[in-house]
Amino acid sequence: MKLKKNLALYIGVGIVAILLFLMIISLFYTPYDANKMVIAERFQAPSIKHWLGTDNFGRDILSRIMEGSQTAFYVGTVSVLIALIGGIIIGALAGYMGGWVDEVVMRIIDALMAFPSILLALVFIAVFGVSTQNTMLAIGIRSIPTFARIARSGFIQYKEFEFVKAAKAIGAGPFRIMFIHILPNVMSSLIIAASMGFATAVLAEAGLSYLGLGVQPPHPSWGRMLNEAQGYLMKAPWYTFAPGTVITMSVLGFNLLGDGIRDMCDTRK
């Protein structure tokens, strides 16, 4: 009954499925070479030949959107994995160990969360250089505090449960208790956070690429496409519309997916 009423989940799954399908197709096929410049076809409006039109270099926008989806999913997936793994380790140690360990770790986490995410990412990239790998690291490291706080609260809650005390009684070590007995019970909250974190990562990558600090040419990026299109807003509005729409739909889809999973896991409903 709960699943039937979960409209957010259905819409989120639908949007994410479409984007994922677009990304998979782009691995094998795009209507045109995404980086091929045809100056004679600059600023062509959407048509049967070019469904989303062409850009200021005559490149097919649909092909670039499709290849840009690879960048978005690649950066988003790796960034979320970095944040998830780092957050679980830090949150587990802080929540389970408690005491001074918890106090020191959480003060560091609070300090990191006090800085705007884009500022930390900019500092990281300024120090280590502009590259796709550094973009993923910057976004992932900035997201670790979010996952760490969720993991910590779960470990604090479950470490007092009877099954944990039973595991201690039979001689299970702290790492076994943390990652075999407690972690599976915390994963539902972390999965919800990961879905929403993916949306944040896609938006962050687009923002950094818009500033010229994300994925570099010749690889297409939705954010850099927006940057290139802003100077031609009146002349070729379709150039801005396409990447802007797909970024919006990506963020909306993953946020709705996270909301839907949360509602599905909520036992109070």
Answer whether residue 40 is part of any domain: no
- Are 222 and 75 in contact by the 8 Å Cβ rule? The answer is no
Are 195 and 261 a contacting pair, CB within 8 Å? yes
Position 47 in a domain: no
- The pLDDT score that the predictor gives to residue 268 is 55
Assess if residue 203 is contained within a domain: yes
**pLDDT reading at 2 higher than 70:** no
Instruction: List alpha helices for 2-116, DSSP H.
Output: 7-26, 61-97, 99-113
Which tokens in the block code for residue 53?
A: 């039109």
Mind listing the pLDDT tens digit for each residue in 158-209? Answer: 888 888 888 888 888 888 888 888 998 898 889 989 998 999 899 988 988 8
Any domain includes 164: yes
What sign for the dihedral angle of Cα 174, 175, 176, 180? Answer: positive
Q: Write the CB contacts of 173 (distance below 8 Å, at least 6 apart in sequence).
A: none
Q: Model-level pTM?
A: 0.89
Residues 135 and 223 sit within 8 Å (Cβ to Cβ): no
* CB of 228 closer than 8 Å to CB of 56: yes
At residue 48 the predicted structure's pLDDT band, cuts being 50, 70 and 90, is very high
The pLDDT of residue 222 is: 92
145 Cβ partners below 8 Å, 6+ apart? 87, 109, 110, 112, 113
3: in domain: no
Predicted pLDDT at 262: 83
Decide if 5 is inside a domain: no
Residue 68: inside a domain, yes or no?
yes
| Domain assignment present for 186 | yes
* Separation in Å, CA 201 to CA 9, 130, 254: 20, 17, 11
Is residue 85 pLDDT above 80, yes or no?
Answer: yes
Split into its structural domains, the chain has a count of 1
Rounded Cα gap, residues 93 and 100, in angstroms: 11
Would the pLDDT of 43 be above 50? yes
Q: What CATH number corresponds to the domain at position 148? A: 1.10.3720.10
- Give residue 191's domain range: 10-25+53-265
Give the position of tokens 């097919």: 60
Which of 12-21, 34-43, 258-267 has the least mean pLDDT?
A: 258-267
